[in-house]
A and B are shown apart, each in its own frame.
Chain A
Amino acid sequence: MNWVLVIVGGMVGAPLRYLTDHAVRSRHDSAFPWGTFVVNVVGCLVLGALTGAATAGAASSHLQLLLGTGLCGALTTYSTFSYETLRLAESGARLHAAVNVVASVTAGLGAAFAGVAAAQAVWA
């Protein structure tokens, strides 16, 4: 059962990342990897909220496997984030590469803290 939840979450999360990146690229012709940035920050917000809800007893372990380990885990990515940062640096856009790292980590952490705080405000 646990494996099924992770698999189902992964089967939704990864295509959502693919579609988000596709949507962002088709609307903004930018060298900056906005698609990965957006999915990572949104995933951090959702996982933060889920973690806050679980701490308050409002999210079951099954829901955490489905939405946390499966969906948010597959929606967000470290490998593409790293590779895109390297590509930016290699193409000469070193400032963009540095901004990508700082902005992704700052916004991701901010979203995680905000998600936890929001869930605690709702359920605690």
Chain B
Amino acid sequence: MTSPYQETVDEPPEPGAPARRTPLWRGQGPALAVVAVGGAAGASARYGAALLWPARTGGFPWTTFGVNVVGCFVIGVFMVLITEVWTPHPLVRPFFGTGVLGGFTTFSTYAVDIQRLMDEGHPRTALAYLAATLFAALAAVCLAVMLTRRAAARWSAGREPS
């Protein structure tokens, strides 16, 4: 999912050329550029959220929790739209899915916040945060996929002549 552009951008290997020698970024220029721009936008949005709602020392990291759950919900909506409802430009998925949403959500801050809470003597908050993020993130993506599929089915049924 993180490199959805590869099928459409990769040129076929030249005859006789060893496939393993092909540089990773070959033919990936446009995708890498939109992933970089999207990643910068997503990371900035996460940083902005952290400035707006700074985490309290030793408290439940609500901002990162919210960022991750919102990002999981949005990716559920987005993936159903671009894989089941319409076929977008091939750069839409790397830009928004891989770049913006991937840059917005974070796994490393999640893990290090748990480590920090444990280290500071808040094991209960750490465990609650660990479980709540996991549960809410998975529930958000499931719910988003389900609701978007239902809305898309209703929308296409409404368009068909009866």
B125 within 8 A of A: no
Chain A contact residue count (CB 8 A cutoff): 62
Q: Is the CB of A10 within 8 A of B141?
A: no
CA A20 to CA B72, docked complex, whole Å: 21
Least CB distance from A20 to B in Å reads 8
Q: How far is the CB of B6 from chain A (nearest CB, A)?
A: 6
Residues of B51-74 whose CB lies within 8 A of A:
68, 71-72, 74
Asked if A109 CB lies within 8 Å of chain B CBs, one says: yes
B81 sits at the interface (CB 8 A) = no
Q: With a CB–CB cut-off of 8 A, which chain A residues contact B110?
A: 78, 108
* CB pair B2 A80 closer than 8 Å: yes
**Chain B interface main SS type:** helix
Instruction: Point out the residues of chain B lying under 8 angstroms from A19, CB to CB.
Output: 3, 24-25, 28, 32
The smallest beta-carbon distance between A59 and chain B, in angstroms, is 13
Q: In the complex the two chains form, is B72's CB within 8 Å of A83's CB?
A: yes
The residue in chain B whose Cβ has the minimal distance to the Cβ of A101 is: B134
As a 0/1 sequence over residues 23 to 37 of chain A, the CB contacts with chain B under 8 angstroms (1 = contact) are 101100000010110
Interface residues of A in 3-28 (CB under 8 A from B): 3, 6-15, 17-23, 25-26
Instruction: Indicate whether A82 sits within 8 Å of B47 (C-beta atoms), given known contacts A19-B32, A25-B3, A35-B2.
Output: no
What is the CA–CA distance of A44 and B47 in the complex, to the nearest angstrom? 18
Q: Does B142 sit at the interface, judged by CB under 8 A?
A: yes
Say yes or no: B105 contacts A77, CB within 8 Å: yes
Interface residues of B (CB under 8 A from A): 1-3, 6, 24-25, 28, 31-32, 35-44, 46-47, 50, 68, 71-72, 74-76, 79, 94, 97-99, 101-112, 114-116, 119, 130, 133-134, 137-138, 140-142, 145
- CB pairs A–B below 8 angstroms (6 shown): A18-B28, A18-B98, A72-B109, A75-B108, A78-B68, A83-B79
